[in-house]
Structure 1
Amino acid sequence: MSSDPARSKARPKTRRRLREWRGHSITAGFVLLWLIGSLAIYRDARQMIVDTEAKIRKEMSLETRAMAQTLAGMLERTYLTIRTVSLLPAVRAAVPHNRANTDEDVVEQGYFSDRDTTIIQQLYNHIAADIDVSEIYLVYDGFDPEQGQVPFLMFDEVLLERIGLAKEAEPTHDADEPEEYEAAEYMEYVQQLDHLRRHAPLLPVEAPNGIAAVTSALLRTCDNSQYTSLANGDERDSHGLLLSVPVYDLSSKQFKGLVTAVLRANVLEAALLGWPRLPITELDKRLLAQRHTDLSTAPAEYVLENRETGDRIMDRRSASLPRFLGGLEQPAIHLEQTLELPYSSAWHLHRYKSTAHLDSAIAPIQRDMWQRLGLLSLLLAGLGLAVERVFAVQRKSTRTLTRMANYDALTGLPNRRLVAEHLSHALDRQQPGNSQYGVLMIDLDDFKEVNDTLGHQIGDRLLIEVSQRFVHSLRTSDQLFQLHNEAAPADEHSAMVGRLGGDEFLVLLPNQPGLEQILGIAERLQASLLEPIDLGQDQVYVHASIGIAVHPEHGSDGPLLLRSADTAMYLAKRQGRGQTVVFQQDLDEKSRQRLQLLTDLHSALTQKQFVLHYQPELNLASGRIDCVEALIRWQHPTLGLIYPADFITLLEQSALILEVGQWVLETACRQLKAWQDAGSGIEHMCVNVSLRQLTQPGFAETLQSTIRRAGISPGNLSLELTESMLMQHPEANIRLLHELRKTGVKIALDDFGTGYSSFSYLRQLPLDVLKIDRSFVIDTATEQGQAICQTLAALAQRLGLKVIAEGVETTEQFFNMSEVGSDWMQGYLISRPLAAERTEQLARSFDWQAFKTDNGLHGHSPDWAPRHPSSATQPS
C-alpha cells in the first residue's frame, strides 16, 4: 500500500513528459514536413530550370542552323552567279584587255558584244534583286590600277538606281558627298589575281564544281562610299567584301582573270537581324515601314566570322557581343555552326546568350520557388493546401508541356505527333466489319505564292482561317472530337482535324460506311474554301489538293496509310488546283515515273527535246486560218512524244517553267516571223504564259526584247492566261496585265468560265479575247448549255472582246458556237495541233466552201456565210 502514493505522483509526471514529447514530436513533424516540402519544391524548380535551359539551348540550335543555311544560301547563290559569268564562252574567249580608264568602252571597241553584256547584265540584275549584291566586275590578268586602268566590265546599274532613289527621298548637297575610295578595292583585285594565278592556274577537271573562290577581308569599297553619301551615313556601311572566281581561257584553259561580286557587310548584317535591309537612308526606312519591319527588336545574338580573313560581322546595336568576343564577359551559351559552302569552310556562325538573358528566363521559376517556400513556412497549419498547390502547379506545367508537345501553336489543332498517335491507337482498336477508316491528306495549292507575295504574317492568318473552316465543315454533320480540351480522353470514334506543318492538314474519319461517304466529306472540305478569305486589304481564293486513303485497303497500319494518302495528295496536285484523288495501288509506280520525268526535265531543254506544235484557229469573218496557238510537246528519247498534261506541273514545281516558257515564246515568235516572210496567211500567234513567268521581275521588258529580236509586230502576238491563274491574286495580276498591254501585245483569257472569277474583276482585266472552255462547248447540245454559251458571248461583246470557242470537235458544236457569236473556232473539227510545216500547208490550202460542204454546214443553214467582215483583221 505504501506504493500507491508513489504511483499517483508518477502518473502526472509521466503525462507531462508525454505531452512534452507529443509537442516536440508535432514540432519535429512540422519541421520534417517543411523539409520534405521544401526539398520537393526545390527539386521541382531545379528540374524546371534544367528543362528551360535545355529548351532554350535546343531552340537556339535550331535557329542557328536555320540562320546558317540562310547565310550560306546568300553566299552560295552569289558564288554560283559569278561562277556562271566566269564560264560564259564570251568571257573566256574575250581579249584580256582591261580598260585604260572609265571612258573606254570595250563594247564599242569590239572587245565584247552587246548581247553578251546583256546576258551578264541579266545575271547581275537577278542576283542583285535577290541578295542586294552591289556590283559585279570582270577583271583580266595584268590589271594595273596604278596606270589608271579600270576593270574590263563593271555592272552597278541596280546600285545606282537605289542611290538615285535614296537621294530623291532625302536630297543632299555636294558637301555631303564623300570621296570614292577605289584604291583599296582595285589593289585587292591585283592581289586576288596574283593569288589565283599561283593557286588555280588551270581549269580543273571537275569544273564547274571544282572552280575555286577567294574572299577578301572587309574593306571600304567605292560603291559603298557612294551609297552612304548621305549626311547621316555610317562609316561601317561603306565596307564590304569581294567574292571572286577565276576566269580560264576558252582554248588553253589557263588562268585569264576573275569575276568578282561586291557584297556589302550591312547586307549580311541585315540578314542576321532578319530584316530585308538596314535602315541607312530615308528611303530604306520607308520601305521597311511598308513591310512592317519592327526596328525596335532586341539586338541579334549572331556573329558571322571568316576564319581566313579574321573578319566578323554582327549587329552594331549589340553591346554584349563585343564583350564576349573580347573576353571581357563569358556567355551563358555559345553555339557555333559552320556554313556549308561549295567553295570554302572558313565561314562560321556564332550564337551567344548572355548570363543576364538566361537569368531573366529562369527568374520567374526562381521567384515562384521562393514564393512557395515562403507560403509553406507561413502556413504550416495549412500544409495540405500548400501540398495541393504544389501538385496543382505541377499538373498545370504538365498540361502546358503536353499541349506544347501535342498541339500546333498557330492553329490550335493537333500536331503531327498527336495525329499519328491517335491514328495508331484507333487502328489497333479497329474492329473488322463493314465500316472503313478514312484518312484525308490536304495540301493548300500555291500557298508559297501567298507567303512570298503577301508575307508570312498574312500566310499565318490564312492558315488559321482555313483550319477553322475545316473544323466547322466537319462539325456540321460529323462527330468532331474536341481535342482542344486536354482533359478529355482521345475518342477513337470521332473525326479529327490536325495540322502536319506548313500548309499540310490531315483529317481522320473513323467508322465511315463506305468510300462514297468519305468522298462526300472531302467535297464539303473543298466547298468550305469556295468563298474568298478576307485578309484585310487582300482577298485570296484558296484551293486544296486532297489525297484519300482507306483502311485496310490502302494500308494495314498508320505509317503505311499516311504514305498512301500522301501519294494520292501529290497526284491530286499534279492534276491541278482543287482536286481530290483516292489512292490506287499503281500510284506508287506513278510516283517513281514522275520522279524520273522530273530528273529528265532538267536536261530536256539543253538537249533540244522540246518541240512546238500549232493548232489552227478559223476566222469566221474571213473564212481563213489566220491564227494559231503554240502548244509545247516533249520528244522524250525513250518514252516518245509526251503531252503537256504530263510535265507542265513538274516544270512549275521545279521552276524550270521560266526557262522553258521563254524558249516557247522565242520559238513561237521566230516561227511567226518565218511564216510572214514566206507570205503565209497566218498573221497571229497565241502563246500560253504561266503565272510564274507573269510575276517574274522584268517580264514586260524581256517580252519586248523577245518581240524586237524576232522582228514581229507586238499586235500580232497574244498571251493566253487562264482564268483560275489570274484569280489567285486578282488585284496584283490586274496591275501586271496593264504593264503588258503597254508593250502592244494582246491578252486572251483562256478556259473562260472555269475559274470562278467575279464580273467586277473581269471588267477590270485589260483583255482583248475570251476563250470559252471546251466543257461549255460540249454542253451546247443541251438548251441550258447553249444558253450559257450565249450569255458568255454576250458578256464578251458588251466588254468589247472577241470570242474564241475551244475544243470544237463536231459539226453540231461548230454550228451552235457560230450561232452564239464566236469570232474564231479552234478544235479537232478544224485541225489537230500540227508541226510548223503542216500548219502552214493547211493555212494555204484551206478551202472555206469545201470545209462547209464536207462537214454538212450548208444543211444547217443554207444561207450561212462568214460574219462581221470588218473583224477579219483582228488578232486572237
Structure 2
Amino acid sequence: MSSKPARPKPAAHPQRRLHEWRKYSISAGFVLLWLLGLLVIYRDAQQMAASTETKIRKEMGIETRAMADTLAGMLERTYLTIKTISLLPAVRATAPHNRASAEEDVVEQGYFSGDDATIIQQLYNHIASDIEVSEIYLVYDGFAPEQGQVPFLMYDEVLLERIDLAKEAHPTHEADEPEEYEAAEYAEYVRQLDHLRRHAPLLPAEAPQGIAAVTSALLRTCDNSQYTSLAEGDERDSHGLLLSVPIYDQSSKAFKGLVTAVLRANVLEAALLGWPRLPITALDRAILARHRTDLQSPAAEYVLENRTTGDRIMDRRSTSLPRLLAGQEQAAIHLEQSVSLPYASDWRLHRYKTAADLDRAIAPIQREMWQRLGLLSLLLAALGLAVERVFAVQRRSTRTLTQMANYDALTGLPNRRLVAEHLANALDRQPSASSQYAVLMIDLDDFKEVNDSLGHQVGDRLLIEVAQRFVESLRASDWLLQLHTGAEPLEANASMVGRLGGDEFLVLLPEQPCLEQVLGIAERLQASLRAPIVLGQEQIYVHASIGIALYPEHGRDGPLLLRSADAAMYLAKRQGRGQTVVFQQDLDDTSRQRLQLLTDLHSALALHQFTLHYQPELNLANGQIDCVEALLRWQHPTLGLIYPAHFIALLEQSGLVLEVGQWVLESACRQLKAWQDSHSPIKQLCVNVSVKQLAQAGFVESLQNTIRDAGIAPEALTLELTESMLMQHPEANVRLLQEMRKTGVKVALDDFGTGYSSLSYLRQLPLDVLKIDRSFVIDTGTPQGLAICHTITALAQRLGLKVIAEGIESAEQFCNMHAVGSDWMQGYLIARPLPAEQIAPFARSFDWHAFKVDNDLLEHSPEWLPRPRCTPSPS
C-alpha cells in the first residue's frame, strides 16, 4: 500500500439516506399496489394469455425437436446397421451373385460361411429388436426379378417369429391371410441399384464416413408381420420404405450391390404417438397393455414428411390433420423441424395445433389468473401492516446475514466472496494507465504443523494475530477498519486485506505506480511477521509465501489475476520459507499443464490408459535374462506415451498412488505367472512401491492376497523402495520391512547413494538387493567414481546383499561394474523397457556370447575379463 494519507470518512452516503426513506415507503407502497392491481387485472390477464401461448409454443418446440431426434435416431441406427453389414469383409469379398430362387441356401452353396451369416443375423436381430426393422436384404448388381431371382440373403427370423406369435394370439384361416406382394419391392431394388451405380460408383475415401444412402417412397412390401387377416388388416400396414446403402468390392472398391432394410410406415407412426407399436393384432394389444399404453389418448399432432417423395406419415386416428394439410382449416401454431441424418436432409417433422385446442389450453389459465389477481387485490390491504413488521425484522436479519456472508467470522476481514466482488468492481472502473492494480496472494508456511502440534485453538489465535499485523503494516485508516461492520459500502479504489480461508490471505492494492512499490509493500508484510507471536506459553515464528500479480500484465479480469497470484504463491512456497515471487507467464502455463494432467489422472485407470513395460536385467552368474523390472507408463489419449517422471508426483499429490500402485502390483504378478506357465526364462520380477503403499494399513495382508491370487511364489517377487523414501521414517519403515520379509518377498533398495542415508540405518534395514544409481555408474569413467562403486559393492557383499547396476549404457560401464562385482546389469546396453509381449521372445533369444561379441567384450574361461580398452581405471 502506498504511503498516501488516510482518507477522511464521508459525512453521509447517498445509500444511507435512501435507506432512511425506505422504511416509510412500505405502507404507501402496499396501498399503491392494491390500487394498481385493480386497474390492471384485465391487462395482466391478456399478458398471461400471451405468455401462456408463448410457453405452449416453446414446449411444443422442445417436444418437436425431441421427436425429431427420436426419429433421426431410429433412421440413423438403421442406417448404421446396414452400413456395418455392407462393410463386412464377407459381404464385400463374396461374388456378386443373386439367388436364382428362394430355395437356394447361401451357406450350403458356399457364398457365405456359417460364421459370417451368423454375424449378419446378429446385426439384424439387434436392430430388429430395437426399431422393429422387418427384413434386411442383400441385393447384388444385375438383380433380375423377372428371371425369378430373389435377394441374395433375407434376414427375417425375428419377423417370422413375430408372425407366429401373432397367429397364436389371434388364429386365422390360411385362406384369410394376405398374399405376399413382392413386385413393387423388387422393382424398387432395381431402381435403387441403378441410382447407386450412377451416383455412388466407388467407395468414398473417407469411409466408413460418407457412405451414401437411398430411401424409397412408401410402397407395398411383402412384410406381413403386423397384420395377419385380410378381414381385419389395414392396407396402410402393408406399406413401408426401403433404406439402402451400397456394397463395394473388397479389392476394387467398386459398387457391386446394396444392403437394404425394410422399415414399416406403422413403426414410424407408432414413434410419432410415443407407443412401442400400433395395436394391429391381438398380440400387439397385449403388449401395449403390459406397457400401460393409453389407447384413448388424444391423436398425435405430428406429420413426418419426405420432401423428395412427398410421402407423409401421421396418426391415422387424427381428424384434424387431413383438414389442415388440405388447407380446409388454419392451424393456430405450425412448427417445422428438420430430421438431421448423416446421409440425407429430405425428412421434415411438422407439428400442428388447432385454434380450438389452443383456446382450450388458455381458457382455464385465464380464469385462474383472474381469481389469483382478485385474491391478491383483497389481501394486499389486509397484509400491509403485517408485511411492514416482517420487513423490519428482515432488514435486521439482512444486516446480520450480510456481515456473515461478506466477512470472515474468525478475523473479521472480508472473505473470499467480498474480496472477489471488490476486485471485479475495481477493475470495472478501468484503472488509469499510469498506475497498476496489484493482487498479493499470501499463504502461511508450515501452518499445518501449528494446528497438528498445538491444536486448532492456538492456530485460530495465530490467524487473528497475523491478520491484525497485516492490517497494521498497511497503515489501515478508519475507513478500512469500518469494513468489519458492513455498515458502509466499499469504495472501488480502496485497498483491502481479506482472508480466503484456512491460512490464505489476499491483499488488493490499487493505484500502484510501479512494481518496486508493490515489492516494498510485500516486504513490509513479510517484516510484520518477523517478530515472534506470543500465545500464552507458546512463542511462534511465522513465515509467509507471497505471490504477486499485476493488472493488466498478468490478467485483465479478477479470476485470471487471482489465478496468476496463486500460481506465483505456489512457486514461492517451492523456493523455501518466507519468499516473494512475481507472476510470470510460464508459471501459468505450467500450472495449467499440471492441472490438466491431474484431472486426466483421475480417469486414466478406469479408462485403461496405464500400461506396464518391463526392462530386462542380465544375470552375470549364468549369462541369462531371468529378471525384469516393471515400469509404469501412461498412454495419454492426446499427449501420447508419458513417462513416470511427469506424473508420479501428481499421483502422490492426488492420493491415486494407492489405487494405481495396487494395479501395478497385481498386473505385474499376473504377467509373471503367465511367463512362468509358458516356461519363459523370466523367473524374477521387480516392482516399485511408494511409501504411501508401504504405510497403508493392512499392506502386508494385501500383498499376500495379491501373490496368492496370481499364483506365484513370494520369493519370485522383489519390491523396490527408494533410499530417500525409507529415510523419511526409518524406525517405522524398518518394522514394516521386517513384516514384509516374513512373507518371503525380497526387498531391494533402489537409487542407493542418492539419499544421504545413515550407514547405521542401512545395517538395520532388512534388505536383499542393493541397486546402484545410474549417476554413480556414469562416474565409473573416473578413478573417484569407480572407487565409490567398488566401495558400495564391497559394503553390499559384506551385508550379504546382491548388487544390481542400473543405467548401463556403454561397454566401458559394463566392464567397470562387472569388475567391481555387480551381480546383475540393467540398462539400454542390454535392452530398453519393452512391452510384456516382447519380453519372453527377447529373453529366449538372448545369446550371452553374441552379446559379448557385439559389444566388443571377451570371455576367458573360467573367469571372464574385458578387453584391455575396457579395463577399469585403478581406484
TM-score norm. by structure 2 comes to 0.46
TM-score norm. by structure 1 comes to 0.46
